[in-house]
Chain A
Amino acid sequence: MPRPIPVPDATSKPFWDACNEKRLIVQHCTYCDRKQFPPEPECRECGWHFHLSWLETSGRGTIVGYSVTYESRIQAWHPEQPFNNVIIALEEDPVINFHSNLPGVPVDEVPVGATVEVEFLEVTDGQLIPEWRVVS
């Protein structure tokens, strides 16, 4: 299915490049000791950019909840309806969350609370996006 492809910008490019190397990274403010995702030009806490670096994550998380899309505003998704929309909280910092469609899990049978691990899905030539699979 052709799906919307992320278009990296100056701030997000390191994240998408890392995905292409099958690494899940988030921003880290060394001054505030705070993780940040999605990436932004500055730390939302201290407002400074020069303490921001990139940190590789464990790639593990927990399913905290979900919905099922029956009618999307995004036309490219119409042939896939209905599909799962799942939210993953990062293991080492549950405030940080990610999207998933949980490939392979039947619609509306999402195991909330389950542990998941990141994998990467090629959505177009040369662009991977993070996806997740249930491990326990």
Chain B
Amino acid sequence: MAHIDEYIEKRTVTMAILLSFDIDGTLEFGEPPGGVTKEMVQRAHDLGFIVGSCSDRALSSQRAIWKQLDVPFAFVKAKHQLGTVKGEFPADAYYHIGDRDTDVQVAEQAEFGFWWDHEAVSEPWLDL
């Protein structure tokens, strides 16, 4: 995983970066399953990213998914509430990852950066 080592080496300045994951069509435990794996989410968490989900799933269901991922999460939000994350978690950069036009729309409205699910499988946040 030279990619990861490179990232750790490069990341000398600590920047708070928040990653919001959609679930269905994005995470591997979604329905339909997406390409973002437990390992990718775990790695982001371990490297200090603030991770959570923002999905059309009920909040209870989102919490259950995180339990399945077995990764500590900072937040669960309904899709239209993405912007509220900013007030709760001060960070230098905010990104949402999803698979639908609605994801793009909520990311734009909340002024988040956006990656499609298929882009996210290469963990582009590691290049920040």
Contacts and interface: CB of A to CB of B under 8 A. Distances in A.
Chain A: interface residue count, which band?
under 10
A71 B100 CA distance: 12
A64 B102 CA distance: 30
Nearest to A71: B102
The SS class assigned to the A binding surface is loop
B80 A70 contact: yes
A51 interface: no
Nearest to B80: A70
B81 interface: no
A78 B101 contact: yes
A78 B102 CA distance: 9
Contacts, number: 5
A78 B80 CA distance: 15
A124 interface: no
Interface string A65-109: 000001100000010010000000000000000000000000000
Contacts of B80: 70
Contacts of B101: 78
B61 interface: no
B105 interface: yes
Nearest to B56: A71
Interface string B96-112: 00000110010000000
A15 to B, nearest CB: 33
Contacts of A81: 105
CB-based closest 5 A-B pairs? A78-B101, A71-B102, A81-B105, A70-B80, A78-B105
A68 to B, nearest CB: 12
B77 to A, nearest CB: 16
Nearest to A79: B105
Nearest to A70: B80
Nearest to A78: B101
A47 B105 CA distance: 48
B82 to A, nearest CB: 14
Interface in B39-62: none
A70 B105 CA distance: 11
Contacts of B102: 71
B31 to A, nearest CB: 19
